[in-house]
A and B are shown apart, each in its own frame.
Chain A
Amino acid sequence: MGYTFQFGTVLGYWPQFLEGAWLTVKLSAFAMTFGLAVGILCALARSYGPKPLAWAAAVYVEFIRNTPFLIQLYFVFFALPNAGIRLDPTKAALLAMTINLGAYSTEIVRAGLESIPAGQIEAGRALGLNRLQIIRFIVLLPAIKAVYPALTSQFILVLLGSSIVSAIAAEELTAFANTLNMQTFRSFEIYAIVTLIYIALAFGFRAVFAGVHAVLFPQRAG
C-alpha cells in the first residue's frame, strides 16, 4: 500500500532529537555513577557488613531485581508524593534508574568481591595496610576489574532502559519521538531514526568504557 518515506520531514527536527539524546546521555551517565556507588556500598554491606545490614541489602536487591523497571518508575513518581517526596520527572527518573542499577550492580560487585581470595586480604594486613587501603587496593579494584565486562553490560542496559522514563513525562529521546509521532504520524521514519541514535549512543558508551578500563587497569609489561 502506497507508503512514501518522508525521512526529510522527520530529520528536519534534528535539534530536538539532539536535545532529547543529550538528556538521555546525561540521565544515563548520572545513573551509572550513582548506581555503581550504591552497588559498591550494598555489596560491601552484604559481604562484610553486620547481619541486619547485609539482610536489608539482600531484600533490596531481590525486590528490585524481580520487579519491572516500569512499575518502579510509577512508584517513584506517583506514589512517593504520598510520603511527601515530590520530584520532577527528570529527578524521579534518575532516582528510579539509580535504585534499579544499584540492585544489579550490588550483585555484580559482590560476585567480584567473592572472587578475591581471603589470603590476599591477610597479605594486605601483613603489609600494614589500614582497613580503607585494603578495601580500596586489595578488594575493590581487583573485584571491579574481574567483573568489569558484566558491569558495563549492565550500564548499557540502563542506557537502553532509559527509553521508558517518557512514561512519567521526562523529556528524553523517546519522549520527543512519541510527541513527534502524534504530530506527524511518520512512525516508521521516527522510530528508525531514534533506534539508530540509541545504537550510536550504546557504541559510544562502550568506547568510553573501554577507555576507562585502559586508564583504571593499565596492562603491565611482561
Chain B
Amino acid sequence: MLRDFGLNEVWFLVLAARWTLALSAVAFVGGGVVGLLLAVARISPWRWLRVAVSGWIQVVQATPMLMLLLLFYFGINMFGVRIDAWTAAAVAFTIGTSAYLADIWRGCIQAVPQGQWEAAKALALNFRLTLALIVIPQAVRMALPPTVGYMVQVVKGTSLAALIGFTELAKAGAQMNTITFEPVRVFGTVSLLYFAMCFPLSMLARRLERKLHVGSLRVQAL
C-alpha cells in the first residue's frame, strides 16, 4: 500500500505534467481568442464598449483565479448544470487569462504611432482593415515578449486546478505524497518539472525582448 518514492513514481509525475501542458494550451488559446476580442473592443470607436470592457477587465483582474475556479466548479454545479473539472477549469482560465492578455495587447496596439492610423484613414481603410493590415502586424512584434512571459504565469496558474480535484501535476504530486509521505522529494520533483516547463519560456521571453528592443514596454504591460 505505502511505498517509496522511486523512478516509477517520478514517471507518474512526468506523465501528469502532460495534463498541465494540455490545460495551459486550452487556457492560452481560449484566453488568447477572447483576449484579442477584448483588446480590440478596448480601442473600438464606441465609448460605451470601451468603458464596459475596461470595467470588465478591471473586475476580473481584481478576482482571485481560485474564486473563478470554485465558482464555476462548485457554484454552477449546484444548478444541476453539467460542468466537469475540465470545462470549469477551461472556462475559468479563459476568463482570467483573457483579461490579462487583453491588457498587454491593448498596450501594444496603442503603442503603434497614431500617424499610422491617420495614414490608413487617408487611404480610406476602415477600422477593421486598418487593424488587420496596418496596426496588428506592428503590434505583434511588440506583443511577443510580454505574451511569452505571460505564458509562464498561465502554466503555473494551472496548478490551481488541483484544488478543484483536477489531476494535473500539482494534484498528482499531492496524490503521490499520500502513498509515499516524502514531501521533500515529491514536491521537489514537482518543482523541477514546473521549472523545466517554465524556465525555457522565461528565457525565450527575455531573448525576444532583447532582440526586438522592446524592454521598456514590458514594464508597463506587467
Residues of A whose CB lies within 8 Å of any CB of B are: 1, 3, 62-63, 65-71, 74-75, 78-79, 82, 108, 111-112, 115, 146-147, 149-150, 153-154, 156, 160-161, 163-164, 167, 174, 177, 181, 185-188, 191-192, 194-195, 198-199, 201-203
Cβ of B13 to closest chain A Cβ, rounded Å: 12
26 A-B pairs whose Cβ atoms sit less than 8 Å apart in the complex: A1-B79, A66-B152, A66-B194, A66-B202, A67-B195, A68-B156, A68-B194, A70-B170, A71-B187, A71-B190, A82-B184, A146-B219, A149-B219, A149-B220, A156-B62, A163-B67, A174-B64, A187-B74, A188-B71, A188-B79, A191-B70, A191-B74, A194-B67, A195-B67, A198-B67, A202-B61
Residues of A within 8 A of B199 (CB): 62, 66
Q: Is B165 an interface residue (CB 8 A)?
A: no
Q: Is B87 an interface residue (CB 8 A)?
A: no
Cβ of B194 to closest chain A Cβ, rounded Å: 5
B78 in contact with A70 (CB, 8 Å): no
Contacting A at CB under 8 A, from B174-222, are 183-184, 187, 190-191, 194-195, 198-199, 202, 215-216, 218-220, 222
Given A111-B219, A188-B78, A202-B62, does the pair A71, B202 have CB atoms closer than 8 Å? no
Q: Is B139 an interface residue (CB 8 A)?
A: no
A69 in contact with B67 (CB, 8 Å): no
Residues of B within 8 A of A150 (CB): 219-220, 222
- Closest A residue to B73 using CB positions: A187
A163 in contact with B219 (CB, 8 Å): no
Given A188-B78, A198-B62, does the pair A70, B159 have CB atoms closer than 8 Å? yes
- Closest B residue to A159 using CB positions: B64
- Closest B residue to A75 using CB positions: B187
Q: Which 6 residue pairs spanning A and B have beta carbons closest together?
A: A1-B80, A202-B62, A66-B198, A187-B74, A188-B75, A68-B159
Residues of A within 8 A of B148 (CB): none
A153 in contact with B67 (CB, 8 Å): no
Residues of B whose CB lies within 8 Å of any CB of A are: 59, 61-68, 70-71, 74-80, 152, 156-157, 159-160, 162-163, 170, 173, 183-184, 187, 190-191, 194-195, 198-199, 202, 215-216, 218-220, 222
A71 to B194, CA, bound (A): 10
Cβ of B86 to closest chain A Cβ, rounded Å: 18
A65 to B75, CA, bound (A): 31
- Closest A residue to B183 using CB positions: A78
A198 to B120, CA, bound (A): 43
A40 to B146, CA, bound (A): 23
A150 to B173, CA, bound (A): 33
Between A79, A191, A192, the greatest number of chain B beta carbons within 10 A of the residue's beta carbon is seen for A191
A63 to B195, CA, bound (A): 7
Contact of B184 among A68, A79, A181, A203 (CB under 8 A): A79
Cβ of A31 to closest chain B Cβ, rounded Å: 15
Residues of A within 8 A of B157 (CB): 68
A115 to B218, CA, bound (A): 13
Given A69-B156, A74-B183, does the pair A3, B74 have CB atoms closer than 8 Å? no
A154 to B222, CA, bound (A): 8
- Closest B residue to A69 using CB positions: B156
B64 in contact with A160 (CB, 8 Å): yes
A141 to B79, CA, bound (A): 52
- Closest A residue to B221 using CB positions: A150
Contact of B163 among A62, A167, A177, A201 (CB under 8 A): A167
A132 to B58, CA, bound (A): 39
Cβ of A57 to closest chain B Cβ, rounded Å: 16
Cβ of A29 to closest chain B Cβ, rounded Å: 16
Between A3, A67, A156, the greatest number of chain B beta carbons within 10 A of the residue's beta carbon is seen for A67
Contact of A62 among B75, B79, B159, B202 (CB under 8 A): B202
A108 in contact with B67 (CB, 8 Å): no
Between B80, B191, B195, B219, the greatest number of chain A beta carbons within 10 A of the residue's beta carbon is seen for B219
Between B66, B156, B191, B218, the greatest number of chain A beta carbons within 10 A of the residue's beta carbon is seen for B66
